Amino acid sequence: MIEVRTSQITDVEDEFNKGVFANQLIKEGTRFHRAPVLPYPNEQHEHIEKTYLADYAFEYGEHHTAFLLGYGMMFNHSYEPNAIYEINFDNHSFDFYAYRDIQPDEEIFINYNGEADIDDPLWFHKEEEQD
């Protein structure tokens, strides 16, 4: 249903620009991916912040941060996403759903703010503004 490919979201030609794409029609409301979490206590995040992985960590409850396994950390951001995610604490996963119909070969985007309609500036935009 989904696969990782080279993303065209930036003008920079980079072999590491990856994203998740639909390889068939995904109807609105369909859960198309369940990403298991690898949680760690928030106190340990200061060590992760020194690495490239810091941009891929998700808040996981009040006391933990998590890396998402499967394709979970590969979804790119958009303020007009075609997918959403829900944290499933019972299964220790992030469940990804189509926010609208997603066409074959379309890149799948989530809003990194956690809700589809929140347009708050993201951490990497704040860094760009400080430069």
Looking at the domain assignment, is residue 128 inside a domain?
no
Looking at the domain assignment, is residue 126 inside a domain?
no
CATH number for the domain harbouring residue 22: 2.170.270.10
114: left (phi over 0), alpha (psi -120 to 50) or beta: left
| Predicted pLDDT of residue 53 | 93
Looking at the domain assignment, is residue 76 inside a domain?
yes
| Predicted pLDDT of residue 128 | 46
| Predicted pLDDT of residue 121 | 86
| Predicted pLDDT of residue 83 | 98
Looking at the domain assignment, is residue 130 inside a domain?
no
Residue 74, SS3 per DSSP? helix
What residues have CB less than 8 Å from 17, skipping those under 6 apart?
Answer: 6, 7, 8, 9, 10
**pTM beyond 0.75:** yes
| Predicted pLDDT of residue 45 | 96
Q: Which residue has the tokens 């200061």?
A: 46
Its domain, for residue 11, covers 2-113
Inter-residue contact 36 to 93 (CB < 8 Å) = yes
Q: What angle do CA 113, 120, 7 make, to 5 degrees?
A: 55
Looking at the domain assignment, is residue 127 inside a domain?
no
Looking at the domain assignment, is residue 124 inside a domain?
no
Looking at the domain assignment, is residue 45 inside a domain?
yes
Looking at the domain assignment, is residue 101 inside a domain?
yes
| Predicted pLDDT of residue 127 | 47
The total of structural domains in the chain comes to 1
10-residue mean pLDDT series, the chain (131 residues): 92 81 98 98 96 93 97 96 98 98 98 90 56 48
